[in-house]
Structure 1
Amino acid sequence: MSIQFDPRNNIVQLCLQGMGMDDNGKPEDASLLFLKAWSESTDDFERFLSAYFVARHQENVSDRLKWLETSLEFAIKLNDEAVKSALPSLYVNIAKCHEELCDTDKAKGNYELADSYKGTPSDKGPFYHGTRADLKVGDLLTAKGDSNYKSDLKMNHIYFTALINGAGLAAALAKGDGTERIYIVEPMGDFENDPNVTDKKFPGNLTRSYRSQEPLKIIGEATEWLRQSQEEIRRWREKLANNKGEIIN
Structure 2
Amino acid sequence: MNIKFDQNNVVIKLCMSGMNMEDGGNVEGATKMFHQAWHEAKDDYERFIAAYHLAHKQKSIIDKLKWMETSLQCALNINDDNVKSAYSTLYLNIAKCYEELCDFDNAKRNYELSNSYNGTPSDEGPFYHGTKADLQVGDLLTAGGNSNYKPGLKMNHIYFTANANGAGLAAALAKGEGRERVYKIEPTGEFENDPNVTDKKFPGNLTRSYRSQEPLRIIGEETEWAKLTTSERSEWRKNLAKSKGEIIN
TM-score normalised according to structure 2 size: 0.98
- 1:116 alignment partner in structure 2: 116
What code does the residue aligned with 2:245 have? G
What's the offset of the Cα at 1:59? 0.6
> After the TM superposition, which residues 55-134 of structure 1 pair with which residues of structure 2 at under 5 Å, given as runs?
55-134=55-134
State the distance in 1 between where 2:142 and 2:122 align. Answer: 21
- 1:191 alignment partner in structure 2: 191
What's the offset of the Cα at 1:224? 1.7
Is 1:235 aligned to residue 242 of structure 2? no
Q: Which runs of 5+ in 2 are unaligned?
A: none
What's the offset of the Cα at 1:29? 1.4
- 1:166 alignment partner in structure 2: 166
Equivalent residues, number: 249
What's the offset of the Cα at 1:138? 0.3
Is 1:219 aligned to residue 219 of structure 2? yes
8 Å Cα contact 1:130-1:181 kept in structure 2: yes
What's the offset of the Cα at 1:66? 0.6
- 1:15 alignment partner in structure 2: 15
Q: Deviations over 1:78-112 (max 9, x none)?
A: 11112111111111110110011001111111111
Q: Which runs of 5+ in 1 are unaligned?
A: none
> After the TM superposition, which residues 38-49 of structure 1 pair with which residues of structure 2 at under 5 Å, given as runs?
38-49=38-49
State the distance in 2 between where 1:173 and 1:36 align. Answer: 31
SS in 2 for 1:200: coil
SS in 1 for 2:182: strand
State the distance in 1 between where 2:112 and 2:224 align. Answer: 42
Calculate percent identity across the aligned residue pairs. 65
What code does the residue aligned with 1:13 have? K
Is 1:147 aligned to residue 147 of structure 2? yes
8 Å Cα contact 1:82-1:204 kept in structure 2: no
When the two chains are superposed, the root-mean-square deviation of aligned CA atoms in Å is 0.8
What code does the residue aligned with 1:68 have? M
